[in-house]
Structure formats: structure tokens, C-alpha cells
Amino acid sequence: MTSLVEYYGPTHDPEFLYPAFNRSQFEAAVRKLPRGHYAPATDRLVVAIQTWLVRAGSRRILIDTGCGNGKVRTTPRMNRMNSLWPEWFAATGETFDSITDVVMTHFHADHVGWNTRADGDKWAPSFPNAVYHFPKKDFEWFDAAHKDGRMSDGGSFADSVQPIVDAGLAEFITDQEEIAGCLKVAQAPGHTPGQLNFWLESEGQQGVFSADIFHSTVQIYCPEWNTAFCIEQDNALATRKAFLKRAAETGALVMPCHFAPPHCGYIREASGGYSFEPAAPGYFAMAG
């Protein structure tokens, strides 16, 4: 598994990101965060946008596809991006033609962007030989939300999702238990109505692509904090609670979309709750 980071930086005001924000609770949590996950000088959480590449036998699988380049978005840092994601992708040794599966956890704009690339005056599938696995419930919700104006993210559904359907490359995840030959499907509603997680196992070890159950490690210490972007607040809380329990019990490597370096780690039971153990050395000191 390889993390392909599109960007990361001190971008999110915690008081904006978490409507239930409490400063004293936050300061207690910050002392437990890995180094580099919070920038105290600017009071910003360090947040990443990343894609996960999985090599499993002959399968070459991407989990989510970031923001993409050159796309009009309402969030300034995502608008008409020109990142080095293609160069990082090429450095893995894979090509746009070698990817066999593209898996969506949900349909927010920062997860679908590299589904397509500019081809003249239109957007064409980036991975022409891949099956794109789309959560059907999420697809239906976002399709309706873009048509009736509930979503105004600059047109990500039109430029990064609909072209895949039009090209006949989409397969919808409904009640399947496994996709792409190795990924176990788990419902994770709340952040979006049809968000999914994907679990995998290799040589007795487990890992999970946890999508946006968390935007920052601070939510492991403050699990009752949803983000401002969570569509179904009650479901988001219930999903996070259940996920924390399962991740701690299984010892799975947790691979979210938005954690700062090293971008993944383990959830451990701790007194009165849970803690986060980074998956690489050098990140265990307090933030600062």
C-alpha cells in the first residue's frame, strides 16, 4: 500500500471545522497529538488530501482520487489546482493505463478529482482500463443534491463523476460484501449518506481505508466532534463510535484520507477512550 499525497498543510481552523469545538477540551487533546498534526502559531490543524494505492496480485487499486488538477472549485486552495500528484503517481511505477480498479469511499469534491482529466474541452476518464466502484446510495444522493442545488462545490459531480458513468466504466456498490478481489465493504454513513469503508487482510494483519470518519487525529480524542461537512450528524457520531471500537479490537492499520504525516496509524484503547499511535517512528512527541 502506498500513500499518494496531493497536498497537506496547516489549513483548517479547528473552531470552524468542528461546530462542537471547546477550547479547553481541544488543548487537552492537542497535547496528545502526533508532532506536526497541529500548528499552534496559526491555530490550524494540519490536514492532508491523499489517495491510497493498493497492489494485490494482478490488481492495481486506487482508493479515492483527491482534488484533481485544473478543476473549478469553490474552496480557494482546491480551485484550479496544479499539484504534482501525476508525478508522485508515476514514481510508483504505475501508469494511468495500469490501474484496474478505482474505489470511491464517497463523493465529496476532494475525493473524486483524479477520476477524470482534461481532454480538449471535456473531462475524460483518467484510468481507461479500470472499473470505477461507486457507492450507489452516495451516488444517488449527490446526483440529486447537485441537480437541486444543495451542493455547490464548483461542479465536481459533473466533471469527475458523471463522465465515468457516461463512459460505461462505473459499477455500483449496493449489497456486495467484497469488491476488487480483496476489499471488504463496510457501511459508514454520516459524513455522507452512503459513505463506505474498505477493510482488507494480508498475512493475518488487517487494514482499513476509513474515508472521512475522521478529518484529524483530534477526533480520536474528541469523538463526539463531527465536522461542519458531515451531512447526517447522528449517523456520523454512531459510525465513529463503532469504528473506534472495531479498529482498537482488531489492531487494524487505519488509513484515512486526511491525516497529516505519517498519514496512517493504529487506534488503541486508553483510559476513558482511545489514543492514536502513528505507523512510523518520530511522530510520538507532542504537537508543537
DSSP bridge partners of 253: 207
| pLDDT value for 285 | 40
- How would residue 287 be classed by pLDDT, with cut points 50, 70 and 90? very low
Q: Measuring CA to CA, which residue among 210, 2, 255 is closest to residue 105? A: 210
State how far the alpha carbon of 120 is from the alpha carbons of 68, 112, 152, 161, in Å.
16, 20, 24, 18
| pLDDT value for 288 | 33
Q: Could you give the percent of the chain with pLDDT greater than 90?
A: 90
Q: Measuring CA to CA, which residue among 161, 208, 271, 214 is closest to residue 47? A: 214
- How would residue 286 be classed by pLDDT, with cut points 50, 70 and 90? very low
Q: Can you give the pTM of this predicted structure? A: 0.94
Ordered by start, the domain boundaries in the chain are 2-278
Judged by average pLDDT, the poorest of 33-47, 83-97, 152-166, 215-229 is 152-166
What is the average pLDDT value for the chain, to the nearest integer?
94
Span 194-207, pLDDT tens digits:
999 999 998 889 99
Q: How far apart are CA 204 and CA 67, in angstroms?
A: 34
- State the cell numbers at 272: 476513558
Span 252-266, pLDDT tens digits:
999 999 999 999 999
- Whether the predicted pLDDT of 271 surpasses 90: no
| pLDDT value for 39 | 97
**Considering only the top CATH level, what class is 2-278?**
alpha beta
Note the helical H segments in the chain. Answer: 14-17, 23-30, 85-91, 109-112, 136-148, 156-160, 162-166, 218-221, 233-250
| pLDDT value for 108 | 96
